[in-house]
Amino acid sequence: MAGGTLLLTTVNGYTINYEQLGSGPDLLMLHGWGYDLTLLMPLARALASSFRITLADMPGHGLSPEPKEAITVFDYAELVYGLLQTLSIESTYLLGHSFGCRLAIILAAKHPEKIKKMVLCGAAGVLPKRSAAYYLKVYRYKIGKFFIKTFAKGKLEKWQQSKGSEDYQKLSPVMKASFSAIVNQDLTPLLKAIQAPVFLIWGEKDTATPLYMAQVMEQEIPNCAKVVYSGRTHYAFLEESARTLAIVNTFFKE
C-alpha cells in the first residue's frame, strides 16, 4: 500500500500480515473484529508524519490466515505482544477500536512496560447487560436445539444456521468458536491493573458497545478520560476523524 511497507512475519506459529509507515515514536493501531488494518489506514497516514505506525491483521482477518483451532482473546493479545517483541518495539502508544481494545486492555494489564498511553475507541471488554428477553431467547434456543436434535436430527444444522447475525454466519467454524469465546470474556477485572493513561472515544449512539460500557471503563481504569461524540455510532472515531486526530496528537504528545 502507498506510504507503507507490507510485510509478513511469524509469531507463536501464526503468520501475521503487518504494515509500517511514518517515523517518530511508535504507535500501534489495532482493528476491530471482522475488519483489518485497512480500516485504520486513513488515520495512520494522517499520523505518519508524527509517529512510526504499526498496523497488523489479526489471525482470520485481512491477509493473516485463520488459526487452525479456536483461540481466546488472551491468545490474540499474546500474538500482539509477540509481534512487538519481533519488531523490537520496546514501548508504544496504542490506538484500538472495538475488539482491538480488548487486546489493548490485556496488553496494558499484563505487559505494562510495553504501553505508554492508549486511545480506545468504542472499546469492547465489558460484558453487555442481559435483559430478561435475552435469557428467554437463549432458553428457547436451547430447548429448540434439544428437541430438534432428539426428534429431527437431520434438521438441526439447518436450524442452527438460521440463528445468529449474517456476519456471524459467514464465519468459519474455527472463527465462530473463537468469536463466541471472545465476546463472553469479561475483561473488567483487568481494568484496575492498567497503569498507562487512557483516553476513551465513544459514539453517543453506539449500539455495539453502548455508552454505559465507557462509563464502567472510566470508573475502573485509574488514569482515564472520556469524550463522547454526539450523534455518532460505533465508528465515531472515523465519523469525526479530524477531531480524533487532534485528540491523538495532543494526548500522545511527547
7: nearest Cα among 15, 80, 17: 17
**Residue 81 falls in which region: left (phi positive, over 0), alpha (psi -120 to 50) or beta:** alpha
How many whole angstroms separate alpha carbon 126 and alpha carbon 197? 19
Tracing cell 432458553 back to the chain, one arrives at 139
How many whole angstroms separate alpha carbon 45 and alpha carbon 245? 11
Looking at residue 171, its pLDDT comes to: 86
User: Is 135 a residue whose pLDDT tops 50?
Assistant: no
How many whole angstroms separate alpha carbon 200 and alpha carbon 236? 11
pTM: 0.85
C-beta separation of 37 from 55 below 8 A: yes
- When pLDDT is averaged across residues 188-202 and rounded to a whole number, the result is 98
Extract the C-alpha cell encoding 119. 486511545
Label residue 7 by pLDDT band (50, 70, 90).
Answer: confident
Diameter of the chain measured on Cα atoms: 66
How many whole angstroms separate alpha carbon 218 and alpha carbon 201? 11
Q: How many CA atoms lie within 13 A of 236 on its CB side?
A: 27
Q: Residue 203 pairs with which residues in a beta bridge? A: 229
Extract the C-alpha cell encoding 87. 519488531
Q: Name the average pLDDT for the chain.
A: 88
Label residue 234 by pLDDT band (50, 70, 90).
Answer: very high
User: Is 245 a residue whose pLDDT tops 80?
Assistant: yes
28: nearest Cα among 110, 116, 109: 116
